[in-house]
Structures are given as structure tokens and as C-alpha cells.
Amino acid sequence: MAESQIIKTIPSDVVIFLDGARVTRKNIEDISLEKGINELKIGEISKFLDSDSVRVKGAGKGIKATLVDVEVNYIYREITGIKELDELQDKLKQLQKELNSLKEELQHFQWVKNNFSNVLNTFSAEFPKFFAAGETSLQGLKDMQTYSNETISSTQKKLFELADKIEKKNIEIQKVKKEIQKYGSLARKVEEYYDIIITIEAESAGPFDLNVTYQIRGAYWTPSYDVLISENETKINYRAEIVNKTLEDWIDINLEVSTATFKPVRIIEPQPWYIQEKVYYRPAPRMDKAKDRAPAAPMEKEIEEELMDYEGEVIEEKREEVEMKVEQATFSESGFGVQIYKIKKKMDIKADGSKHPVLLQEIDVTSTRLFYWNSMDQQLIAQEKIKNGESTLLPGKCKCYVDGDFIGETNIKVISPGEEFKLGARRSYEMKVEKKLVKREVGKKGIFKGKLTNEYGYEIKINNYRKKESEITINDRIPHSRSPDIIVEPDEKHLDDYFSPIPDKLILSVATFELKLTPEQEFKIKYGYKVGYNKDITIDPSLP
């Protein structure tokens, strides 16, 4: 068979997964098959190739061809940049390859010789039995001796020839090694890649087109989101930030982004959770002067202060420009939940290790603006309650914009289609909430038997300055006693005597009011509480 025909290919289609990619390469020059066996070589594919994943497809015009074999070879080369030295190293590798082949052939003929000698010895030992039984003649013995002498002689001659060739090959190798040593310890660069050898049998000669598909490591994508919030509409720009570290540039490719992953999924059976009484062992007394030692210094606790929104999201006080809208991908979903986004235009993703953002979808979602206020910091917080569309949103970074202004960045978890989630917590001035102490009587007698009593009354006024009906959550608290000598009213059974309106929830004396206010409505919450205590008791922390 003739030498391999070198085929030049380029990546034409890429499917990027969460932890890898599937690449399809096509030939950029015409392939001409000859009748019979053809060997095609696609060289220098990235070392991150998964060698078990290579698949080959092809088609010829007017010819029938059969795929015979696909061989994937790992190549490791050391190069120096000096042409003569690189040629010597290549020659050395070729000589060593030929030497190994000669040694294998020598080993084979030694096995033939030894095996034939064993057969001859067995024949000689058994011949008298067969001769005595009249099953053979002396001529058979003579024929066997003649054949064995010829075979052993030819085998021995072949062994001598191979030994001579091996000796000459070793001498040649030593000469090349000496030539290499003349260049000293010059810097060497390692090249690692794969060659794909494709064997095709054609019934007739003619042109042929080839597609080679393989999976490759070193590429991945991560989700990122821009949430654009306004009074009338909310949009989510869903992006894939693609990173290519495969050592192969993807230029002018058809790109698909998939939520699939290379990692296998396993079902793990739960194991029993055993608990038992803890047994304490008293340590043996130490025979040192521990009492004389100075006590250890207490560990310092580092406190990192962060500005957090109402849901625990980190808010960065900076502004960024909203990116311009670009054409979004075509969305599809497989039967087992994998989402695929086909990018409509050709893409360039270079193997530079940087992030290449690609818009997957611009999702129109429904949102409701919610408001929160609590008596601890008395700040009004606005936040959007968003209902997701038909796409699953994977974990990723999310930037929030309200009316074009950047308000912060956070991370979102997995959000299923149709699931509601909250986002975009920020300070707001669209409503006003004021809390006022309207009653304070301290040290009264006779309300709780044998105790002094403090009585308080409060008013919370909420003004809705918006033009829409608005939902607001008000959180306030009254004292909660942890001492049997301190009595607090109201309890959960007598809320209507102290609250107007009654809170939706009262847990450990924390009251929650869920309110809906009409446009420009003013609403008031009125409540009070009493605290009874013995006169010799000091309440901690102190009451108002």
C-alpha cells in the first residue's frame, strides 16, 4: 500500500458542553481515492483529544467506499528549533524503531528453532515404539532427519543474519547519538498531539469528502445573566461565557451550546446513620508545670463587613453600562432535559483561555415589585419577584439593572422553568414607612399582681406614593421574655386586644404584616405591649 495521504482539515462545527466539547473537522482540499485500499492521515490533533471518541463519516460522488479501520496514535516529540538536530533526533527514533523490529524478529526465529528442536526430540524418542508396531519405516526416520537438518540450518542462518543486522543497527545508532551529543544540552521543546489514520476501501477511484468528530477536554462554558428590570417589563439576557484551552483555534465555526456534561451520573444508595451515647474518657494527669504557664491568647475573630441585600446577595456600589442587544440563539431541548442553543451566525473562539461571551436567549419574564421594611434598620427595600420562562437557568453570576442603572451582582442557583425567585434587592424611596412611639408609661402598679408594669404603644404609618397597587412586608417586634419573673403581654391568644390589624405571623414575638396598598394610600398599624417585672429586677437589655 502506498504512503498515507495527508488530509488538511479545519474545525467546522463545535458543540460546547459544561466540561468539554465535541468538535467536527472537515477537509479543506479535495480528497481523491484510488480503487482499493486508501490510507488517509489527519495529523497534529490536540493532545486533549479523547482517543476513544473519534468517529468518521464520509461520502464520495459516484463511488462506493467502506470504512476499514480508524487508528488514533499518540505522538510525543522533542524539538529544539535547530533543523539539523531535529533531523538527527527523528533519525534516531526511526533507527530505534527498526532495531526493536529486528529484535522481535530474532526472538521469533529463536522460538521457532527451540520449538522445532523439542518436536524433533519427541519424534526421536517415540520412533522406536511406532517402528516396532510396524506403523512406520526407517525411511520415515531418514526423511525426518533430512528435513530437520535443513530447517535448523536455515533457521540458524537467519539468526546469524539478524544478529549481524542488529549489531550494525546498534553501531549506526551510536553514531547518531554521538552526532547529537555535539550539540550539547540545548533547550528542548516537547510536542504532544494525536494523528488519526483512516483506512478506506474504494470500489472505484473518485473524489471523497470526510468528516471526523471527536470529544476534547480543555473547553467549557459558564452561565452569566443580565437582568434588566423596569416598571413595565423585565428581561433576562442569558449568556454563555465560553473558554477554549484545547490548543485548537475555532475559526468561523457553527457553534452549539449544550447543558450536557461529560461527568457520569451515579445513583448512590443511602447508608444507615448510626448514633450512640458519647463516652468521655478522663485523660491521665500530665507531669509538667502547666499551672505555671501563661494562659493562651484568645483567637482573634475576623469580621468582614459586606453590604447585603434583603435575600443575602452582595451589592457592589458601582455602575456599568448595559450591553447592546444582539441576535439570540435557537433553543431546543432533548427528551432527557438537556438544553441546546444553536448560534445563528458563525463564531470565532480562539484557544486563548479567555472568556468569550455569547448571547443564548433574551427571556421576557413576568415580575412583581415587592417592598420590605423592618424596625431594626428602618430602611425600605425593594425587590423583584420574577417568574422564570421555559428555560432552566443554571448556577452563575447575575448582574441586575433597574431602569438602566447597575445596582449589584450576585450568584443564582438552579432555577427551573416556571419557578419564582427574588432578585434585585435595593433601597427604595417609592414608599415611606415611619414608626412612632405614642404611649409610654413606666413603673405602673396593679396590672400584674405584685409587679411593676411598663406599658407602650406604637404607630407605623405607611404611605404608598406609587401609581400601582403595591405589596409590602412589615416586620416589627415586641419583647419576648426568657425569664419566669418577667411577663409580657400580648400572648398569641390575645392579639386583637393589642394589635390593629392583627399580624399575619407572630413568631417569638416578631410580628409580620403582609399588606396590599392601593395607589397613594396611607395605612396605619397600631399596637402596644405590657411588661411586668419584680421591682428588684433589672431588665436586660433595657426597655424604651
Picking from 409, 427, 445, the residue at the C-terminal end of a domain is 427
What is the chain's length?
A: 544
R_g over Cα of the chain: 42
Q: What is the DSSP string of 325-356?
A: P-PPPEEEE-TTS-EEEE-SS-EEE-SSSSEE
Query: For the CA atoms of 148, 151, 152, 153, what is the dihedral angle to 10 degrees?
Result: 120
Q: How confident is the model at residue 384 (pLDDT cuts 50, 70, 90)?
A: very high
What's the pLDDT tens digit per position in 417-428? 999 999 999 999
Edge-to-edge strand ranges of the sheet holding 65-79:
5-6, 36-46, 189-202, 65-79
Asked if residue 166 belongs to a domain, the reply is yes
Per-residue burial over 158-177, b if 16 or more Cβ lie within 10 Å, else e, is bbeebeeebeebeeebeebe
* pLDDT at residue 513, rounded to an integer: 97
The Cα angle at residue 441 between residues 439 and 446, in degrees rounded to 5: 130
- 523 shares a domain with 446: yes
pLDDT tens, residue by residue, 167-192 = 999 999 999 888 888 776 665 667 89
- Residue 296 pLDDT grade (very low, low, confident, very high; cuts 50, 70, 90): very low
Bridge partners of 238? 225, 361
How far is the C-alpha of 423 from the C-alpha of 399, rounded, in Å? 10
- Residue 480 predicted with pLDDT over 50: yes
**pLDDT for 11-55, tens place per residue?**
999 999 999 999 999 999 888 899 999 999 999 999 999 999 999
The pLDDT value given to residue 333 = 66
Of the candidate ranges 131-145, 187-201, 282-296, 368-382, the one whose mean pLDDT is the lowest: 282-296
Contacts of 475 (CB under 8 A, 6+ apart): 372, 373, 374, 375, 510, 511, 512, 513
> pLDDT for 225-240, tens place per residue?
999 998 878 999 999 9
Could you tell me which residues are beta bridge partners of residue 24? 13, 213
The number of folded domains in the chain is 4
Residue 285 maps to a domain: no
Same domain, 376 and 505: no
C-alpha cell at 64: 462506493
| Residue after which a domain boundary falls, among 427, 459, 477 | 427
The secondary structure of residue 530, as a DSSP letter, is E
259 within domain boundaries: no
User: Which residue do the cell numbers 505522538 mark?
Assistant: 75
Same domain, 33 and 168: no
For the chain, first and last CA: distance in Å?
100
**pLDDT exceeds cutoff 90 at 332:** no
Is residue 541 in a domain? no
- Grid coordinates 413568631 are at which residue? 507
Q: What are the tens digits of pLDDT across the range 438-455?
A: 999 998 887 777 789 999
Share of the chain residues as helix, strand and coil, in percent rounded to the nearest 5 = 20, 45, 35
Could you tell me the residue range of the domain that residue 182 belongs to?
83-186
**Residue 315: inside a domain:** no
User: Does the pLDDT of residue 316 top 60, yes or no?
Assistant: no
**Residue of 78 and 508 predicted with greater confidence:** 508
User: Do residues 137 and 226 share a domain?
Assistant: no
What pLDDT was estimated at residue 109?
87
Q: Are residues 368 and 514 in the same domain?
A: no
Other CB atoms within 10 Å distance of the CB of residue 280: 6
- pLDDT at residue 48, rounded to an integer: 94
Q: How far from 350 is each of 18, 20, 242, 251, CA to CA, in Å? A: 17, 15, 10, 7
pLDDT tens digit sequence for 69-117: 999 999 887 766 677 877 888 888 899 999 999 999 999 888 888 887 8
Q: CA-to-CA distance for 91 and 172, rounded, in angstroms?
A: 10
Among the residue ranges 199-213, 249-263, 265-279, 322-336, the one predicted with the least confidence is: 322-336
Distances, alpha carbon 522 to alpha carbons 282, 428, 469, 470, in Å:
67, 17, 12, 12
- Asked if residues 88 and 177 have their Cβ atoms less than 8 Å apart, the reply is no
Assess whether pLDDT exceeds 70 at residue 379: yes
Residue 464, all three cell numbers:
404608598
**493 CB burial (10 A radius; 0-12, 13-18, 19+):** exposed
Cα separation, 228 vs 329, in Å, equals 19
- Higher pLDDT, residue 334 or 360: 360
DSSP output for 384-430: EEEE--SSPBPSEEEEEEETTEEEEEEEE--B-TT-EEEEEEEE--S
Residues 381 and 437 grouped into a single domain: no
Q: Are residues 419 and 334 in the same domain?
A: yes
Task: Choose between 525 and 319: higher pLDDT.
Answer: 525
Split at pLDDT 50, 70, 90, the class of 152 is confident
Q: Which of 367, 402, 427 is the last residue of a domain?
A: 427
Q: Which residue has the cell 488514533?
A: 72
Say yes or no: 240 and 353 in one domain. Answer: yes
Highest average pLDDT, of 58-67, 92-101, 188-197, 314-323, comes from 92-101
Shared domain for 201 and 243, answered yes or no, is no
Q: How many CB atoms lie within 10 A of CB 51?
A: 14
228 and 167 together in one domain: no
pTM of the predicted protein model:
0.66
The whole-number pLDDT of residue 542 equals 92
Q: Say which residues have a Cβ less than 8 Å from residue 417's Cβ, sequence separation at least 6.
A: 388, 389, 390, 391, 392
Is the pLDDT at 295 greater than 60? The verdict is no
Residues 391, 528, single domain; the answer is no
Tens digits of per-residue pLDDT, 392-431? 899 999 999 998 899 999 999 999 999 999 999 999 999 9
Is 352 or 292 the better-scoring residue by pLDDT? 352
Strands (E), 446-539: 452-464, 470-477, 486-489, 499-500, 505-507, 510-517, 522-533
Q: What is the structure's pLDDT at 113?
A: 83
Q: Between 109 and 309, whose confidence is greater?
A: 109
| Confidence at residue 321, expressed as pLDDT on a 0 to 100 scale | 41
Tell me, what's the pLDDT at 286?
A: 63
* pLDDT class of 327 with cuts at 50, 70, 90: low
Looking at residue 428, its pLDDT comes to: 93
CA distance 234 to 253: 32
Domain assignment of residue 538, yes or no: no
SS3 assignment, position 118 = helix
Angle, helices 83-132/138-181, rounded to nearest 10 degrees: 170
Please tell me the predicted confidence (pLDDT) of residue 307: 29
- pLDDT interval class at 313 (50, 70, 90): very low
Rounded CA-CA distance 477/508 in Å is 9
Q: What is the mean pLDDT of residues 242-261?
A: 95
In this structure, is residue 97 part of a structural domain? yes
Strand partners, 340: 258, 332
- Provide the CA 489 distance to its chain's centre, in angstroms: 55
Does 299 have pLDDT greater than 50? no
Return mean pLDDT, the chain.
85
The CA distance from 521 to 45, in Å, is 70
Question: Mean of the pLDDT values across residues 134-139?
Answer: 75
Q: How far, in Å, CA of 520 to CA of 541, rounded? A: 38
User: Would you say 521 and 466 are in contact if contact means Cβ atoms under 8 Å apart?
Assistant: no
Q: Looking at residues 333-350, what average pLDDT do you find?
A: 85
Say yes or no: 241 and 366 in one domain. Answer: yes
User: Which stretch of DSSP H or E encloses residue 112?
Assistant: helix 83-132
Q: Beta partners for 486?
A: 533
Asked whether 437 and 458 are in contact (CB, 8 A), the reply is yes
Does residue 296 sit within a domain? Answer: no
Max Cα-Cα span within the chain: 140
pLDDT at 301 over 90: no
Residue 284 pLDDT grade (very low, low, confident, very high; cuts 50, 70, 90): low
